[in-house]
Chains A and B, each alone.
Chain A
Amino acid sequence: MKYMDEYRDPAAAEAWLKAIRGLVTRPWTIMEVCGGQTHAIVKYGLDELLPSQVQLLHGPGCPVCVTPLEKIDRAIALASRPDVIFCSFGDMLRVPGTDRDLLSVKASGGDVRIVYSPLDAVEVARRNPDRQVVFFAVGFETTAPGNAMAVHQAKMTGVRNFSILVSHVLVPPALEAILGSPTCRVQGFLAAGHVCAVMGYREYEPIAERYKVPIVVTGFEPLDILQGVYLCVKQLEEGRAEVENQYARVVSADGNRPAQSVVSEVFEVVNRSWRGIGEIGASGLGLREAFADLDAERRFDLSAVGPRPEPAECISGLVLQGRKKPNECPAFGIRCTPERPLGATMVSSEGACAAYYRHRRKAEG
């Protein structure tokens, strides 16, 4: 497949591995931020092929994994209402809330629909004027423009029965939270290429500077990741801490300005809670006052669904911060499996625990 096979070529992969092996003189710990990268690393077994001195840690960049329990419970409450059509991306449906998940709500008669685009949800609202349509707006900077566009379009065209349940999170504050922790083990980052395609990479420069940590904007194919690791190790070995762009075929310094513009028109930066991690200041997006009437949490009375305590049965918070590997959890593969997940990291296809379970159980489990 053009523009894809080139980045999965075994001979080129071996050449990059050889280059990394020739570069590394001591142990380094690098975090890949995005769940999509975690998935590719485990699917292609890249971490097995890397020299043992290079340890990859899995970051908090799986949107499904970090959506807080309270939001899932609110989604479930909304989806259970007979007057609501609840639209969501597919992989949110299996995430466990306090008592059940959205798939169970659907099986109980809730009108829960998988959509591929938030604009599809607006269309559902147009076709069902007598029902309320709620879209579950989750994700990082990658999904924010599409969700903002849906809100913008619904508002401009007067689709009054459409609203969104917002749980957007932002990458840079999460990186700073990880770097600011006294137990931080991360020495370099592979930044998420998709996020930077929207936002550019200028916002990472102060972080690299402040924390003296190399940040390499990296894509999602095996060769992207190996090249990203190479560039990161090279900086570490040379004592540099800069922002570099491996994913130049997609990412520019300034990103996608029209996308940023619609995001900032519709959303504003707010404090946001991350599942398994806790609240991080200025780490999320919420609807601006001008669009408050499209906020599902204001439109519907959800006061009964408040924050719930989360028992510390599993270690997904540690996994999301790169402080533990999934298979270091005593429950991994025993009390926690993709069929009966303890935490969201075992649910999403991008979650580190699920990726390990599917692809690596035997090797390290």
Chain B
Amino acid sequence: MKDELALSCPVPAGRYEQVLMAHGGGGRLMHQLLERVFLSAFSNPALDTGHDAAVLDVGSSRIAFTTDSYVVRPLFFPGGTIGTLAVNGTVNDLAMAGARPLGLSAGFIIEEGLPIETLERVVASMQGAAKEAGVAIVTGDTKVVDRGKGDGIFINTAGVGLVEHGLRIAPAAVQAGDAVILSGDVGRHGMAIMAVREGLQFESAIESDCAPLSGPVLDLIGAGVEVHCLRDLTRGGLASALNEIAAGAGVGIAIDERQVPVREDVRGACEILGFDPLYVANEGRFVVFVAGRDRGRAVEVLRRHASCEAAVTIGHVAAGDPGLVTLRSLIGSTRILDMLSGEQLPRIC
């Protein structure tokens, strides 16, 4: 050893010139990709609202329109299938615009060699999910690709819904004093998938929270709750959703970690793999920003639904710190809850 330790540091990593898996992870890399490639090319008022669904004027009516693709592995997991995700995901994107779902499309990209029986199980699960959500699959498309060029089956769904109220539900409607309400425990879907993939054994299987959310949302609106913004907590989880809204609305959001429900088996799986449940994907959870005076009624209405029986107020919108999400930690200090850079990667130790 020299007396003085040598000091040096790596060179800067270049800008990624290829798409990485992390570009689809729901974190900051994905947002950079959206802005660099898609938003800059497609920019228009409906897209630029940054909402889960576009709201369009059709004559005297307003409709919500959305699409999503599903590439999940494994195809079947505790609590759902790729098919139930494809239906509920699109129903929920419509719900997050405050719309009543009217009809869905379903596009299938199937890899050569997939057993027909597998396809039948997926389709049956989709029909069951559509029935539960009160929506019909009204059009579709099928393509088959060579063996090795798909992952069994990919599904794209699109949906149209009717906006039957005069509320303006968007990040821009969020304002200081709003209450932030979470519809239930977080992290279940992501850890259900990880537990199957990694062969983690628990006393009972972690089940995905996959569920349709239009019922609870329409009830909130029907009850006269002043809803300002809705966001389902898919890729990137609660933390990413709150950051998206804080940035889109130009407000600060303060939440209390002690109020965020996380099931014990989910916490355990997260501990083992080094994940933070606040960043883990969900398929049946959302946050709703409501006028502060309506928080009690909003929680009460949500709790009437089985999928939202653990609904709870987790924080509020603060006047200062635009774009920043802060979290009061379990032991009482305050820190920033940042957006994830890419995917959560398992840690060494």
Which residues of A lie under 8 Å from residue B8 when comparing CB positions?
Answer: 276, 278, 309-312, 317
B58 at the interface (CB under 8 A from A): no
Instruction: Tell whether, in the assembled complex, residue B10 and residue A69 are in contact, meaning their CB atoms are under 8 Å apart.
Output: yes
Distance (whole angstroms) from the CB of A14 to the closest CB of chain B: 8
Distance (whole angstroms) from the CB of B295 to the closest CB of chain A: 24
Contact residues, A121-173 vs B (CB, 8 A)? 138-140, 142-143
Instruction: Tell whether, in the assembled complex, residue A89 and residue B347 are in contact, meaning their CB atoms are under 8 Å apart.
Output: yes
Which residues of B lie under 8 Å from residue A341 when comparing CB positions?
Answer: 12-13
Contact residues, B40-93 vs A (CB, 8 A)? none
B183 at the interface (CB under 8 A from A): no
Contact residues, B1-38 vs A (CB, 8 A)? 1-16, 18-22, 28-29, 32
Instruction: Tell whether, in the assembled complex, residue B3 and residue A181 are in contact, meaning their CB atoms are under 8 Å apart.
Output: yes
Given A45-B335, A89-B348: A103 and B9 within 8 A (CB)? no
A202 at the interface (CB under 8 A from B): no
A100 at the interface (CB under 8 A from B): yes
A106 vs B22: C-alpha distance when bound (angstroms): 11
A92 at the interface (CB under 8 A from B): yes
A280 vs B329: C-alpha distance when bound (angstroms): 38
B303 at the interface (CB under 8 A from A): no
Which residues of A lie under 8 Å from residue B264 when comparing CB positions?
Answer: 1
Which residues of B lie under 8 Å from residue A139 when comparing CB positions?
Answer: 348-349
Q: Interface readout for B318-332 with A: 1 if CB under 8 Å, 0 if not?
A: 000100101001111
Instruction: Tell whether, in the assembled complex, residue B267 and residue A1 are in contact, meaning their CB atoms are under 8 Å apart.
Output: yes
Distance (whole angstroms) from the CB of B166 to the closest CB of chain A: 37
B338 at the interface (CB under 8 A from A): yes
A124 vs B245: C-alpha distance when bound (angstroms): 42
Instruction: Tell whether, in the assembled complex, residue B6 and residue A278 are in contact, meaning their CB atoms are under 8 Å apart.
Output: yes
Q: Interface readout for A305-317 with B: 1 if CB under 8 Å, 0 if not?
A: 0000111111111
A297 vs B76: C-alpha distance when bound (angstroms): 41
Instruction: Tell whether, in the assembled complex, residue B335 and residue A43 are in contact, meaning their CB atoms are under 8 Å apart.
Output: yes
Distance (whole angstroms) from the CB of B302 to the closest CB of chain A: 26
Distance (whole angstroms) from the CB of B59 to the closest CB of chain A: 44
Instruction: Tell whether, in the assembled complex, residue B349 and residue A43 are in contact, meaning their CB atoms are under 8 Å apart.
Output: no
Which residues of B lie under 8 Å from residue A99 when comparing CB positions?
Answer: 14
A16 vs B84: C-alpha distance when bound (angstroms): 49
Which residues of A lie under 8 Å from residue B329 when comparing CB positions?
Answer: 43-45
A310 vs B8: C-alpha distance when bound (angstroms): 6
A103 vs B28: C-alpha distance when bound (angstroms): 16
Instruction: Tell whether, in the assembled complex, residue A342 and residue B347 are in contact, meaning their CB atoms are under 8 Å apart.
Output: no
A321 at the interface (CB under 8 A from B): yes
The count of residues in chain A whose C-beta lies closer than 8 Å to any C-beta of chain B is: 86
Q: Is the interface of B mostly helix, strand, loop or mixed?
A: loop
Q: How extensive is the interface on chain B, given as a class?
A: 35 or more
Instruction: Tell whether, in the assembled complex, residue A281 and residue B338 are in contact, meaning their CB atoms are under 8 Å apart.
Output: no
Q: Interface readout for B246-265 with A: 1 if CB under 8 Å, 0 if not?
A: 00000000000000000010
Instruction: Tell whether, in the assembled complex, residue A277 and residue B346 are in contact, meaning their CB atoms are under 8 Å apart.
Output: no
Which residues of A lie under 8 Å from residue B296 when comparing CB positions?
Answer: none
Distance (whole angstroms) from the CB of B335 to the closest CB of chain A: 4
Instruction: Tell whether, in the assembled complex, residue A321 and residue B5 are in contact, meaning their CB atoms are under 8 Å apart.
Output: yes
Instruction: Tell whether, in the assembled complex, residue B198 and residue A116 are in contact, meaning their CB atoms are under 8 Å apart.
Output: yes
Residue of B nearest to A69 (CB): B10
Q: Which of B12, B331, B342 counts the most A-chain CB atoms under 10 A from its CB?
A: B331
Which residues of B lie under 8 Å from residue A97 when comparing CB positions?
Answer: 10
Instruction: Tell whether, in the assembled complex, residue A277 and residue B5 are in contact, meaning their CB atoms are under 8 Å apart.
Output: yes
Residue of B nearest to A354 (CB): B341
Given A182-B4, A340-B15: A313 and B338 within 8 A (CB)? no
Instruction: Tell whether, in the assembled complex, residue A91 and residue B347 are in contact, meaning their CB atoms are under 8 Å apart.
Output: yes
B334 at the interface (CB under 8 A from A): yes
Q: Interface readout for A96-124 with B: 1 if CB under 8 Å, 0 if not?
A: 11111101101110000010100000000
Instruction: Tell whether, in the assembled complex, residue B9 and residue A343 are in contact, meaning their CB atoms are under 8 Å apart.
Output: yes
A238 at the interface (CB under 8 A from B): no
Instruction: Tell whether, in the assembled complex, residue A314 and residue B347 are in contact, meaning their CB atoms are under 8 Å apart.
Output: no
Q: Give the contacting residue for A96; candidates B1, B2, B11, B19; CB below 8 A.
A: B11
Which residues of B lie under 8 Å from residue A177 when comparing CB positions?
Answer: 1, 5
Which residues of A lie under 8 Å from residue B4 when comparing CB positions?
Answer: 181-183
Distance (whole angstroms) from the CB of B141 to the closest CB of chain A: 28
Distance (whole angstroms) from the CB of A333 to the closest CB of chain B: 11
A100 vs B17: C-alpha distance when bound (angstroms): 10
Distance (whole angstroms) from the CB of A152 to the closest CB of chain B: 20
Which residues of A lie under 8 Å from residue B349 when comparing CB positions?
Answer: 36, 63, 139-140, 142-143, 194
A275 vs B7: C-alpha distance when bound (angstroms): 9
Q: Give the contacting residue for B338; candidates A4, A64, A350, A358; CB below 8 A.
A: A358
Q: Which of A69, A91, A108 counts the most B-chain CB atoms under 10 A from its CB?
A: A91
A250 at the interface (CB under 8 A from B): no
A186 at the interface (CB under 8 A from B): no
Distance (whole angstroms) from the CB of B277 to the closest CB of chain A: 12
A139 vs B32: C-alpha distance when bound (angstroms): 32
Instruction: Tell whether, in the assembled complex, residue A10 and residue B18 are in contact, meaning their CB atoms are under 8 Å apart.
Output: no
Known: A49-B333, A278-B8, A317-B8. 5 other contacts (CB 8 A): A143-B348, A277-B7, A310-B8, A311-B8, A349-B274
* Residues of chain B whose beta carbon lies under 8 Å from any beta carbon of chain A: 1-16, 18-22, 28-29, 32, 198, 264, 267-268, 271, 273-274, 321, 324, 326, 329-336, 338, 341-342, 345-349
Write 14 A-B pairs (CB below 8 A) sorted by A numbering.
A1-B271, A43-B329, A94-B342, A94-B345, A96-B10, A98-B10, A99-B14, A100-B14, A143-B349, A281-B1, A309-B8, A317-B7, A342-B11, A362-B336
> Closest 9 A-B residue pairs measured CB to CB?
A45-B333, A90-B345, A278-B6, A96-B13, A317-B7, A90-B346, A338-B341, A310-B8, A359-B335
